[in-house]
Structure 1
Amino acid sequence: MKFSPWMTMGALSLALAAALPAAAQEKSVAITAIVEHPALDSVRDGVQDALKAAGFEAGKNLKWQYQSAQGNTGTAAQIARKFIGDKPDAIVAIATPSAQAVVAATKTVPVVFSAVTDPVAAKLVANWEPSHTNVTGVSDLLALDKQMELVKQVVPNAKRVGMVYNPGEANSVVVVKQLKELLPTMGMTLVEASAPRSVDVSSAARSLIGKVDVIYTNTDNNVVSAYESLVKVGQDAKLPLIASDTDSVKRGAIAALGINYRDLGEQTGRIVVRILNGEKPGDIKPETSTKVELFVNPGAAEKQGVTLSQALIDSAAQVVK
C-alpha cells in the first residue's frame, strides 16, 4: 500500500489498520452470564480458550470484558445496555435470561448465546435455521432419546418414568411435552410431579412412590437446587434416580449423560471467532452441544436398589466413588 505525504495522521492510522490482517487488529468481545456457578463459568472459560487458540488473546489483540448479573434479571438488562453502548464486535450471553436481555436490546450488535436449552422457546431465534438477524449461538439441549436409553440401561424393566419439575420453568415444560411423545415409542409412559418451589421437591418425589419405576430429572433449577431431598426419597423408597447433569451424580444420582460445559464454551467460542473473522451471525446456524459425558455412581445405585452393569461402568467418563 502506498501512502500520500499529504495524508493526515488520522487518515494514515486508518490506512495502516486497513492494511493489517483481521486477526492482528484489536477486536472486542463482551461476555455476560446470568449468574456465576461452575457450569456457566466453564462456558465463559471455554469461550476464552477458543478465542486464544484462534489467535485472539486478551491484552494483545483482544479487548475482553465480563460481567455477571448475579441472578438478577434487572441487572442483566443493565449489563446488556452497557455492553451495547460499548459497540463490541460480539456479545456472548450465557444462559437464557442474559441472552433474552441482550437480544431484546439490540438488533445490530452480533449476539452469540450459550447454555440456552431452547432458544426457539426463549424467542431468541425463530427456528434452528440461520436467523438472518444478529443472533446465533449454542444450545445445551440434550437428546432425550439418549437420556431414555440410559434409563433403560440402569433400569432395564422400567415402564413408568417419573419426572419432578417446576411447571413455571419453560425449559422443563418443553422437556415434559417431548417426553410425552417419546416415551410411548420406547414402551414407557411419563408420570409428572409438580414442584413449583424448591421446598416442594421432596413431597413431589414422595408422591411418585409406588407409581413409577424410576425418576428422571432434567436441568430444572428448582430440582437441581434441592437434589439432596430427592436423593433421600430415592434411597428410602429404593427408587432409582437418573439425572441429566453430571454434578447431580456427585450428589447422589445413579447416572447422568450430561453436557461438558467447557466444551460447550469452546464450541461457542469457535462461532465467535467466525464472526470476528467477518461472518454474519445471521448466516450461522444455531448449534447444539457436540459432546456429552456419562457419569455413574455405583454406590448410589446400590442405595437405590439397582446394580449397574460392568459394561456401563466401563463406558463412563467418570465413576463417582
Structure 2
Amino acid sequence: MKKLSFLLFGLVLLLAACGGGGEKSTDSTDTGTDTKTEEAKSFKVGITQIVEHPSLDAATDGFKKALEDAGLEVEFVEENAQNDQSMNTTIAQNLVNEGVDLIFANSTPSAQAVKGATSDIPIIFTSVTDAVGAELIDSMEAPGANVTGTVDLHPDTISNTVNFLKDELGAKKVGTVYNTGEQNSVAQIEQIKTLLEEAGLELVEAAVSTSAEVKQATESLIGKVDSLYIITDNTVVSALESVVDVANAQKLPLMVGELDSVARGGLGAYGFEYYDIGYEAGQMAVKILNGEATPSEIPSAYPANLKLLINKATADNLGLEIKDTWNAEFSK
C-alpha cells in the first residue's frame, strides 16, 4: 500500500512539472511575439543616365531626395552611359540582370533602352521630351505597361520661345544644332520648324552625332542666321560651352531649352527646374515601391512653374535692353 501511494505521489509531481514547463514555454513564446518588430524593407533601385550635364544631374539628385524624404531604405545601382549608345543598352541589361526593384531612366535614350530590356521591372523616367512619340507610354493620362514618369517639355515652352525670338529679338533666321539620332530632339525640331514658319521665320539646321562635333556645327551657321536656339538635346547641351563661345564671339542671341543652360551662358530660356521633375519622378517611385500603385496607374506628368530666366551678363554683352514687360528672373 505504501508502495502504491509513493508511486501515485511521484506521478502527481511528474504531471505538475510537465504542466508547469508547458505553461512557461507558452508564456515565453507569447512574450517573444509581442516584442518582435518587423524589419524595415530595403530596396535596390537602378539609375541609368545617358550623359553627364547639369540638368540631368539635377534630375537625378531630385529623384534620390524624394526617396530619402519618404524614409525608404534604398541601395542605388547608378550608371552613366557617357552618351555611348552601345553602353546605354548594356547598362539597361545589366540593371535587369542585377534584379533591381525599380529603374529610374534619366533621358529618352535611357528610358528606351530599359523598356526594351524588361517588361516586368517598374520603370520611372524623367528628362524625356515626347514620351508618347518615343513609344515609352500609350498616353500621358494612361501610360500603360510598366513605365511612367515626368517629361521635360512644358506645352508652352517652344511657342513662348518662338514668340520671344520674333517679337523681342527681331529674329528672321534662327540657327539650331541637334543630334538627329535623339528622338526627343527630332520631335522638338519638327514643332519649332512649324511654329517658326507660321511666324514668318526660317530655321537653319546643323546636325551632329557626337559632342565633339558641336563647335564646328555651330560655326557652320555663322553668316546664315541672326540668332540661335538650342533645345534640350543631350549631345549638344553636354557641350554647350562650345555654342556659347561662338554665340558670344559673333554677338548672336542664344535662346536655350532649359534653365541650367542660361546659367552656363545662354541668353534666356522658358523653363523649370530639372531637380523638380526628378523629385516628382521620385515620388512616383515611392508609391510603386510601397505597393500603393503600379506604373500603369500613375499618369505621366508635365513640368509645372514655367518661367522666363535671363542671363544679364549675356544680355549686356549683346547690348540688349531688358524690358520690364518680360517679367523675367535673372540667373546668378
TM-score range, shorter chain: 0.7 to 0.9
Letter in 2 for 1:198: V
Q: How has the CA–CA distance of structure 1 residues 224 and 84 changed in structure 2, closer, same or farther, with 3 Å as cutoff? A: closer
Identity of aligned residues (%): 36
Quick one: which of 280, 294, 301 aligns to 1:267? Answer: 280
The answer to whether 1:39 aligns with 2:55 is yes
The answer to whether the 8 A contact 2:215-2:243 is kept is: no
Structure 1 residue 111 displacement after superposition:
0.8
CA distance in 1, matches of 2:123, 2:51: 18
Equivalence map 1:126-165=2 (5 Å): 126-142=138-154, 143-152=157-166, 154-155=168-169, 157-165=170-178
Letter in 1 for 2:111: A
Residue 77 (structure 2) aligns with: 65
Equivalence map 1:270-289=2 (5 Å): 270-278=283-291, 279-289=293-303
CA distance in 2, matches of 1:219, 1:95: 10
CA distance in 2, matches of 1:260, 1:299: 21
Quick one: which of 104, 109, 123 aligns to 2:135? Answer: 123
Structure 1 residue 133 displacement after superposition:
0.5
Q: Which residues of structure 1 form unaligned runs of 5+? A: 6-12
CA distance in 2, matches of 1:223, 1:308: 27
Equivalence map 1:229-268=2 (5 Å): 229-268=242-281
Structure 1 residue 236 displacement after superposition:
4.8
The answer to whether 1:55 aligns with 2:71 is yes
Quick one: which of 77, 101, 107 aligns to 2:113? Answer: 101
Secondary structure at the residue paired with 1:288? coil
Which 4+ stretches in 1 moved above 6 angstroms?
none
Letter in 2 for 1:263: D
Q: TM (normalized to structure 2)?
A: 0.76
CA distance in 2, matches of 1:232, 1:295: 20
CA distance in 2, matches of 1:85, 1:35: 22
Equivalence map 1:86-235=2 (5 Å): 86-142=98-154, 143-152=157-166, 154-155=168-169, 157-185=170-198, 187-196=199-208, 197-209=213-225, 212=226, 214-235=227-248
The answer to whether the 8 A contact 1:80-1:101 is kept is: yes
Q: How has the CA–CA distance of structure 1 residues 283 and 115 changed in structure 2, closer, same or farther, with 3 Å as cutoff? A: same
The answer to whether the 8 A contact 2:51-2:238 is kept is: no
The alignment of Structure 1 onto Structure 2 pairs a total of residues equal to 294
CA distance in 1, matches of 2:265, 2:71: 41
Structure 1 residue 153 displacement after superposition:
6.2
CA displacement 1:162-192 (0-9 Å, x = unmatched): 433344433222112112332355x342322
Structure 1 residue 308 displacement after superposition:
1.3
Residue 9 (structure 1) aligns with: none
CA RMSD of aligned residues (A): 3.1
Letter in 1 for 2:104: V
Q: How has the CA–CA distance of structure 1 residues 101 and 159 changed in structure 2, closer, same or farther, with 3 Å as cutoff? A: same
Q: TM (normalized to structure 1)?
A: 0.78
CA distance in 1, matches of 2:264, 2:76: 35
Q: Which residues of structure 2 form unaligned runs of 5+? A: 1-24, 26-32
